[in-house]
């Protein structure tokens, strides 16, 4: 197809996902099989179990996506896959499947950076304008990325310790909430009438980096102190204080970056983009600054293959394909 009909595979963490996207924009199928229930009882993703689960599901999800999209495999223009970063055992399952398809169908392979995928989830719903600044917040990443032009990324800030989602999940665990804690903390924070104030990690005045482990420790310390005094803190008040701290820093740094680099748009990406408080705070800050904000629908924020297809489509248009010898890279840089 002239528009490019891409099949994409994403298996970097605990979701097995296969998507079929036409013209970089029309999502014909975006099938996601989550292993959440499997990992829930461990309170986090167990890498060895994740890769085994990918092996069990990948063929079924590929078939499901092809049948849902109603395409013939021979119509595909290319096969895309997340090259990294991620869990190596999980990445390898997706890469093996994508390479086999590429070989069997005699179409090019396109390796995609997972964060480029998260960012280009925005291209599924909007026309991107450059320069743009992207705030990527997920369980594995917290990054500010400058997009100078199409496909040209510069990471200007990142977390020095925990990712934002990781901090949410650790605080959730301390509050006795189910895994992952993010959505539960979001709900509690929303319901709370008061907050227990928590510190903000601004780091050096000109830094676009983040740090969330001190905040997590402050929450744990507050809970412990109360416990030693025989008191219990209202979890909703803790959740609200924690969430306010995370949001204030994320929003302030994203807006400062957008202003410094003359961004035409602010793009939000990653699972934490589902956070109601973060969306609302970004929306009003962007309105006040006259900065267009783009937020993809939730299904394209959490790990999914449609976003990988969207990023791959830009490479495909420019003939930037990847040799079949592609190595999966757990620490691939953007
Ligand atoms: O992008 P994602 O699905 O997976 C990774 O690539 O990490 O992000 C998952 C993360 C989890 O840490 C989860 O707690 C967080 O996103 N999350 C939220 C919310 N919904 C999901 N965090 C805060 N508020 C939410 N509403
Ligand atoms: Zn992700």
What domains can you pick out in the chain, each with its CATH number? 5-120+301-317 (3.30.420.40), 129-295 (3.30.420.40)
Cβ(188)–Cβ(194) under 8 Å?
A: no
Task: Give residue 140 CA to ligand 2 midpoint distance, Å.
Answer: 7
CA of 158 to the centre of ligand 1 (A): 17
Ligand 1 site, residue 14, Cβ cutoff 6 A: no
Residue 244 CB–ligand 1 contact under 6 Å:
no
Residue 45 phi, psi (nearest 5): -80, 130
Q: Where are the extended beta strands (E) located within the chain?
A: 5-10, 15-22, 26-34, 78-84, 109-113, 132-137, 142-149, 152-158, 265-269, 293-294
Give the mean pLDDT of 231-249: 97
Q: Tell me: the pLDDT tens digits for 59-115? A: 999 999 999 999 999 999 999 999 999 999 999 999 999 999 999 999 999 999 999
Instruction: Write the burial class of residue 38 (CB in 10 Å: 0-12 exposed, 13-18 middle, 19+ buried).
Output: middle
Q: Where residue 194 falls among pLDDT bands split at 50, 70, 90?
A: very high
| CB neighbour list of residue 101: distance below 8 Å, 6 or more residues apart | 7, 62, 73, 76, 79
User: What's the CA-to-centroid distance between 102 and ligand 1, angstroms?
Assistant: 31
- Angle at which helix 164-174 crosses helix 235-260, to 10 degrees, equals 170
Q: Is the CB of 86 under 6 A from ligand 1?
A: no
**Is position 118 annotated in a ligand binding site?**
yes
- Any ligand 1 atom below 6 A from CB of 43: no
For residues 295-308, give the mean pLDDT.
Answer: 95
- Is there a binding annotation on residue 3? no
Contact 162, 242 (CB under 8 A): no
pLDDT of 273 above 90? yes
Q: Is the CB of 209 under 6 A from ligand 1?
A: no
| CB neighbour class for 278 (10 Å; exposed up to 12, middle 13-18, buried from 19) | buried
- The alpha helices in 106-142, defined as continuous H runs, are 114-120
Instruction: Give the Å distance between the CA of 116 and the centre of ligand 2.
Output: 10
Over the stretch 290-299, which tens digit does the pLDDT of each residue have?
A: 999 999 999 9
272 in contact with ligand 1, CB cutoff 6 A? yes
Task: Decide: pTM greater than 0.90.
Answer: yes
What local confidence, expressed as pLDDT, does residue 1 receive?
59
ipTM given for this complex? 0.98
Confirm or deny that 259 is annotated as ligand binding: no
Q: How far apart are CA 209 and CA 211, in angstroms?
A: 7
Per the document, the length of the chain is 334
* Spatial CA neighbour of 181 closest among 90, 246, 118, 121: 246
Strand partners, 10: 17
| Annotated binding-site residue? 290 | no
* 30 is annotated as contributing to ligand binding: no
Give the whole-angstrom CA distance, residue 49 versus residue 93: 12
- Protein residue whose Cα sits closest to atom 3 of ligand 1: 302
């Amino acid at each position: 197809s002239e528009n490019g009909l891409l099949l994409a595979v994403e298996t970097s963490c605990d979701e097995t996902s296969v998507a079929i996207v036409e013209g970089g924009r029309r999502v014909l199928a975006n099938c996601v099989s989550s292993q959440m229930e499997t990992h829930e009882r461990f309170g986090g993703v167990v890498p060895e179990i994740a890769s085994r689960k990918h092996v069990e599901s990948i063929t079924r999800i590929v078939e499901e996506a092809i049948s849902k999209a109603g395409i013939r495999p021979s119509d595909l223009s290319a096969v895309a896959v997340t090259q990294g970063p991620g869990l190596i055992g999980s990445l390898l399952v997706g890469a093996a499947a994508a390479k086999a398809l590429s070989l069997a169908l005699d179409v090019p392979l396109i390796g995609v950076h997972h964060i480029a995928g998260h960012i280009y989830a925005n291209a599924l719903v909007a026309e991107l304008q450059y320069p743009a600044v992207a705030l990527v917040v997920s369980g594995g990443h917290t990054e500010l990325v400058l997009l100078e032009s199409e496909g040209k990324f510069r990471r200007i800030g990142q977390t020095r310790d925990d990712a934002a989602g990781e901090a949410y999940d650790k605080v959730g665990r301390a509050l006795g909430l189910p895994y992952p804690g993010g959505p539960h903390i979001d709900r509690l924070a929303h319901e709370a009438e008061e907050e227990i104030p928590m510190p903000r990690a601004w780091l050096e005045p000109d830094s676009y980096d983040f740090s969330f482990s001190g905040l997590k420790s402050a929450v744990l310390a507050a809970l412990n102190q109360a416990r030693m005094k025989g008191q219990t803190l209202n979890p909703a008040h803790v959740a609200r204080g924690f969430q306010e701290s995370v949001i204030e820093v994320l929003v302030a740094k994203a807006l400062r970056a957008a202003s410094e680099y003359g961004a035409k748009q602010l793009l939000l990406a990653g699972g934490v983009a589902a956070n109601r408080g973060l969306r609302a705070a970004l929306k009003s800050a962007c309105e006040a600054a006259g900065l267009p904000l783009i937020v993809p629908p939730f299904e394209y924020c959490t790990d999914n293959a449609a976003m990988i297809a969207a990023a791959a489509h830009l490479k495909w248009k420019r003939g930037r394909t990847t040799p079949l010898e592609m190595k999966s890279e757990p620490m691939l840089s953007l």
